[in-house]
A and B are shown apart, each in its own frame.
Chain A
Amino acid sequence: MRLIPATAPAPVLPRRRQVLYGSAFAAAGFAIMILTLVGMYLEARAGQRSLWLSENAIPLTQPNVMFGTLLIGSVTAQWAVYSLARDDRGHSYLALAITLLMGLAFVNQTWFLLTEVGLGISQAEGPYFYAVVGSHLAMLGAALVFLALTGFRALGGSYSSRNSDAISAAGLFWHVTVALYAVIWLAVYIMK
């Protein structure tokens, strides 16, 4: 007679979500930096109300289209998260690609807007305007790099429904980027 040891399935360990927490902190840090710059912009503008942007015109078309582009990117970023959480890899890759495309389109449109505005760094408004726009572009660049890296790792099979925290983290970072653009859109482009 011999005893057959009973076997039990290995317990499911809780997901650590390191990348998600780290991304949340990084997004918060970027947000504080950009909000500080927006605050400095508004303070400077309040002191020179009648002279602010008197020599330059900021058209509304490009900022509005840029906002719409980012909102589309938000939808597709969340679509990527939703798809990968259900192991729908095809749609996940498509959504990531569209999000990247929206981000690149935003950068392209921003560049065109800056050439249209023609603001010089030596003008009083220049440093404030370029600091706000440039810092947000930097954050968007970081979001695009994060999405691209996540996409490549997803292509390599690193992520699935059991491990989708990195995609969620990239999505979170993207959403915060879009939310901050909403603040800039209102403070800089609408309330000019």
Chain B
Amino acid sequence: MALTETAPPAIEEPGATPAAGTRTAPTAVERVIAAVDHVTIGRVMVGVSLLVSLASLLVLAVTNLDTATLDGGVPGTGILGEAVAIRLAANAPIALLLCGVLPLLLGLAMVVVPRQVGSPTIAFPRLAGLATWTWVLATGIFVVCVAADGSYGGAKTDLARLGNIAVGGLVLSLAAGAVCVAVTVLSLRPVGMGLADVPYFAFSMLVAATLWVLTFPAVIAHVAFIHIQRPTATDLATTGLDGISWLMRQPSVYIALLPALGIVLDAAAVAVAGRQRFRGAAQGMIGMAGLFSFGAWAQTDTARNTLVWVAVCAAIALPLLGVLGAVGDTLRRNRPRLISPVGFALVSLLLALLGAAVGLLSVIDTFGHGQLVGFGTAELARGQLFFVLGAALAAGLGGAHMWGRLSFGSQLPEGPAKGLAPLVLLGAGLLALGPVVLGLILANDASTDPAPFGAISAVGALLAALAVLATLGGGLRARREEGRDPDATFDTWEGGGTLEWADPDGWPTAVESPYPLLPAVEEA
């Protein structure tokens, strides 16, 4: 759609100055809100998503602490009331997924992907800006609804409906932002750069955006459908939550991993200051992971009790192992430098594989119709969700450190960053371990006290929150130091082989060939 922009009237008299008190330049807030450059938009999304990730992990820590303090497993006897515990436990994973991890990856993509493909701008910049601010607004509404006894599990009907609508707004804005990134990769590459030549993160975002566009509208369908029935708070807590819970179960949950695979591969290349071998195979692994993570068809229990579901959920391990093999081959053949992005990349892969392994347990349970082994599949699904989100979070934090100059203005402190990857591994691992072990113990309808597992998960959530807080602190410090070091280079790691490490001010506006098409003609 075309917009007619009218330039402000020019000052007619030469040397005339504006009247006193008249602002001629936008304020910093106005510049940010009205920004259509991809770096500013992306930074907004990265910053807010880190804040919400921190809050979500803290809420998860509190809810697990409530489980840990239950008296004999009786609901309502912990540090929180029963209603509050149920509401927070239902909404915290949604917040971590839609307001934390996915927007962190998308924000990074908005900042980095245009630079990676050599484009001065993102495709549909105004749409990207609209998507970002819609997401910020929807996040705010969702958080307020959860806090004010609304959203899923809340008691107030109006706020419960508003929280439901906010979820629809979140997925819609994420899908719109993802489309901007995908179209940037498809149509704004320079002449001569084919799709096979784009960096891995850009390629993975193309695949991820496709899957997000094929997944999130199904969530919108459920949100809209239940909303038109004028549901009560109870309806939303049961039917409403069931309608979107498939998004946090396999195979759909793996859509969060797709951008992480690209970050992991790019980090390995940066660590060795070289290139990945078997480029086509690596891109094929990303594409395969995308194919197996399409889960809009597996929304109901009926669909999840089929051989196709079993096959798809088991097969997701193949591309993950493939990426691990590619990264391992690259690191083995060269001398990798021990930089923080590599640590985050390896942690991300490990957590992803653990998530796939837990998914395999659910697959075995389903394949045996619950007779082979009768795991607590709800707990296993919750554990798998936290493994996958942990993997995506690790990759997101690794990407924020790797592309620190783009994401925050200057490089994040490398020393503390090296300690964050093990912290994320421990944190996400413990957060997921609690429900996984509980699910294994609850096999064959056994019962047990959930308190110890709640304690384990609470510690894990706190550790993961600490890692996010450290990244946020490093990012704020990097923002303050932007531009202070005149000798800082764009190629922070001195080995980046893709376009985002080049100084954009030095990008030529026109390509000049050293070989002119025609020689100059001498005039006699």
Contact = CB atoms under 8 A, between A and B. Distances in A.
B221 A36 contact: yes
A183 to B, nearest CB: 14
A36 B216 CA distance: 11
A40 B187 contact: no
A18 B213 contact: no
B191 A4 contact: no
A4 B521 contact: yes
B388 to A, nearest CB: 21
A6 B520 contact: yes
Interface residues of A, number: 38
B521 A29 contact: no
Interface residues of B, number: 39
Contacts, number: 98
Nearest to A32: B217
B298 to A, nearest CB: 11
B521 A3 contact: yes
Nearest to B221: A36
Q: Which 5 A-B pairs have the closest CB atoms?
A: A6-B518, A33-B217, A36-B221, A32-B217, A36-B218
B191 A28 contact: no
B228 interface: yes
Nearest to A22: B183
A22 B124 contact: yes
Contacts of A33: 217-218, 220-221
B521 A2 contact: no
A3 B124 contact: no
B418 interface: no
A17 B518 CA distance: 31
B184 to A, nearest CB: 9
Contacts of A21: 123, 182-183, 186-187
Contact of A131 (B175, B213, B218, B225): B225
A6 B187 contact: no
Contact of B217 (A18, A30, A121): A30
Interface string A173-190: 000000000000000000
Contacts of B442: none
B214 A28 contact: yes
A55 interface: no
Interface string A1-25: 1111111100001101110011001
B489 interface: no
Contacts of A3: 520-523
Nearest to A5: B520
13 contacts: A3-B523, A4-B523, A6-B517, A7-B518, A16-B187, A22-B123, A26-B179, A29-B214, A32-B215, A33-B221, A43-B300, A131-B228, A158-B2
Contacts of A39: 299
Interface in A105-154: 121, 127-128, 130-131, 135, 149, 153
Interface of A: 1-8, 13-14, 16-18, 21-22, 25-26, 28-34, 36-37, 39-40, 43, 121, 127-128, 130-131, 135, 149, 153, 158
Contacts of A6: 516-521
A14 to B, nearest CB: 6
Contact of A4 (B2, B214, B299, B520): B520
Contacts of B522: 1, 3
A50 to B, nearest CB: 21
Given A28-B213, A121-B228, A8 B518 contact: yes
Choose among A2, A31, A37, A158 the residue with the greatest number of B CB atoms under 10 Å from its CB.
Answer: A37
Contact of A2 (B191, B218, B523): B523
B222 A36 contact: yes
Given A5-B520, A32-B296, A25 B213 contact: yes
Given A8-B518, A33-B218, 6 more contacts: A8-B517, A14-B191, A16-B187, A36-B217, A36-B222, A128-B225
A131 B224 contact: yes
B1 interface: yes
B17 interface: no
